[in-house]
Chain A
Amino acid sequence: MTERILSASAALAEALHEEMQRDETVFILGEDLTAHAGIFGQFEGLPENFPGRIIDTPISEAAIVGVGVGSALTDMRPIVDLHFSDFVTCCMDELVNQAAKIRYMFGGQVKLPLVVWCPDGAGIRAAAQHSQSLEAWFVHVPGLKVVVPSEPSDVKGLIKSAIRDDNPVMFFQNKSLFSKQGVVPEEDYLIPLGKAAVKRQGKDVTLICYGSGYYLCKEAADILAEQGIEAEIVDLRTLKPLDMDTVTVSIKKTGRAVTVHEACLTGGFGAELCARIQEQLFDHLKGPIKRVAARDVPMPFSPGMEDFCLPKVTDVVMAAHSIVSRK
């Protein structure tokens, strides 16, 4: 049987088709969704196939997320499209004070099955207000799950799990990865939230990544292999809940770790990983943990500057080298 190749966008659309077919309470809400099947074409086929269930809204992010929260509380399964993840700032109360806390502060009386789909990331020259990776903010809020897929097959399996989850899920999908191709199974499959994937085996260093960071690690591992260093790649896929078990098994094997993400360095998820690894696995470490991340500036527009600020394959290679070659 030949393996089917799909783009990340097509994988997303296929998953949404399947879920909307399966469950009539699932609907998608956001700005400018029907005219072009989402501003990135990510919802191809949905407006025609599910009329009335993919809905254009006014430019009112607080109201949009509010509609998601209120309808999730009253027997629906909304997916909210935030247009650009940067616009979470326009609906932070609804996400952080409402969606994240409602079940808890009401003593577990209710479920809140909401997916907030956030196209994030840089690399398309969209500058400071349309290029951020803000996942760490939401990891810091108890009550939200945070998913950041990388490959197309992950997108399909994770969005389906997110939709079926009875809790609010922030789903960050990197814009620069929409066109990435990959093998995507045709069947209805789920990837559980909170389960990392070891995407390459290696014994010398663990590259811990998610989202676009995975592709940097994939290339870096090939280069490192040519240089005689066997890197293991752990793609977290979900940041919350975090699959620390998979990280632990890998670190115990390699004794070395590099965290890789596109979000800027300071306060990024890499810092949380470093903290946990040194707390729990200190005696297994052969050297310091290195972090690869974007520079701590708003994303600049001009291509040369943007590329300079983003983490690169060579950064991952150099970080791995610096701890593997350490005596």
Chain B
Amino acid sequence: MAEDANMLLELYERMITVRTFETVAGEYFAAGEIPGFIHLSIGQEASSVGVCSCLRPDDYVITNHRGHGHMIAKGADIKRMTAELFGKKTGYCKGKGGSMHIADFSIGILGANGVVAGGLPIIAGAGFSIKMRKTDQVAVCFFGDGAANRGTVHEVMNLASVWKLPIIFALENNQWASTTPQEKSSAVEEISCRAAGYNMPGVAVDGNDLFEVRNATLEAIERARSGKGPTLIENKTYRISGHFEGDPQKYRTQAEIAPWKEKNDPIRRLHDYLVTSGVLDEKMNLKIWEGAAAVLEDAVAFAKESPFPEPEEALEDLFVTQ
């Protein structure tokens, strides 16, 4: 086996933690306990965990509105994430951010971003800073097939390639930009082919296959750390969740979604591989799912017990006061 069995089990567990986080968040949102709106990444766990598992703690990640999975995969604290979703004072952003604006600068998460493609220009800065400081960190930006059509993406990919910045453009093509299918919004089927226009490698992989995602990511990281510049990786996946929770999803059929929930589910695929390889049995499997459920149970309890911020705290944190 190419990968160490224990490590694979750990990644499997992390994917299940992401799935459980998203599922539980969806339940509490439906119950009216999470304000605002949330965007879940169910079905995209091989991408988030696959990419982030290749990173060092000091590497940077910027994510998007569908960012819970990326954060968990990069090592974010689940209690503080949950508390933030609930709008509580103990959340990562003390209730000022919510689902779309979570960050943990202590572990290189430079933030989720509520503006589609909003993180891409910022990742250029993280990459440039790495270059100026002469470290061998890398910077990863997750974005979707919808974001790929923003004009800023062109500016950033060109600049990153001209300057050979240590960036991995992690495009998660989940086939739906909100309610618009990829074929109606992108002129190309494989968005990664656009990398040619920036003279950088562009690779499309099966984004529901943890191994493919990791292999592409490791190669891109090697390239970035050795000063050869950015790579565009297109993880082809599928958004099982609606665009947002509560999305009536009139734009697609259950028949379209079904295979992605079944044989193409990234967690199921890794599960089957691990069982076939003799690394995982059903007893262990059950224990992993139960463990993740317990983590979320604790996190929800923490969030619920935590106080809301005082309304006046809204006036804090705007500026660094010197």
Contact = CB atoms under 8 A, between A and B. Distances in A.
Interface stretch (B24-32, B39-47, B63-71, B149-157): B149-157
Given A93-B115, A167-B319, A63 B101 contact: no
Nearest to B158: A58
Contacts of B125: 66-74, 78
Interface in B105-161: 105, 110-111, 113-115, 118, 120-130, 132-133, 139, 151-152, 155-156, 158-159
Given A60-B159, A76-B133, A103-B319, A67 B124 contact: yes
A74 B130 CA distance: 8
B93 A105 contact: yes
Nearest to A108: B317
Contact of A108 (B94, B113, B139): B94
B93 A106 contact: yes
B317 A63 contact: no
Given A70-B125, A74-B129, A63 B155 contact: yes
B320 interface: yes
B132 A98 contact: no
B96 A67 contact: no
A63 B124 contact: yes
A107 B121 contact: no
A272 interface: no
Chain B interface extent, by class = 35 or more
Contacts of B114: 97
B322 A66 contact: no
A69 to B, nearest CB: 5
A62 B151 contact: yes
A98 B133 CA distance: 23
Nearest to B322: A166
A71 B103 contact: no
Contacts, number: 142
B97 interface: yes
A184 to B, nearest CB: 24
A69 B118 contact: no
B132 A143 contact: no
A47 B158 CA distance: 24
Interface in A16-48: 25, 27
B122 A66 contact: yes
Residue of A67, A71, A98, A165 with highest tally of chain B CB at under 10 A = A67
Contact of A69 (B122, B130, B322): B122
Interface residues of A, number: 42
Interface in A55-109: 57-58, 60-63, 65-76, 78, 91, 93-94, 97-98, 102-109
B162 interface: yes
Contacts of B322: 165-166
A108 B316 CA distance: 8
B92 interface: yes
A73 B126 CA distance: 7
A107 B126 CA distance: 20
A62 B320 CA distance: 24
B103 A106 contact: yes
A200 interface: no
A111 interface: yes
Interface in A134-177: 142-143, 145, 165-167
Interface of B: 60, 91-97, 101-105, 110-111, 113-115, 118, 120-130, 132-133, 139, 151-152, 155-156, 158-159, 162, 316-320, 322
Given A71-B128, A103-B320, A106-B96, 20 more contacts: A60-B159, A63-B121, A63-B152, A63-B158, A67-B124, A69-B121, A69-B122, A69-B125, A73-B122, A75-B133, A76-B132, A103-B319, A105-B97, A106-B97, A106-B103, A106-B105, A106-B111, A110-B103, A143-B318, A165-B320
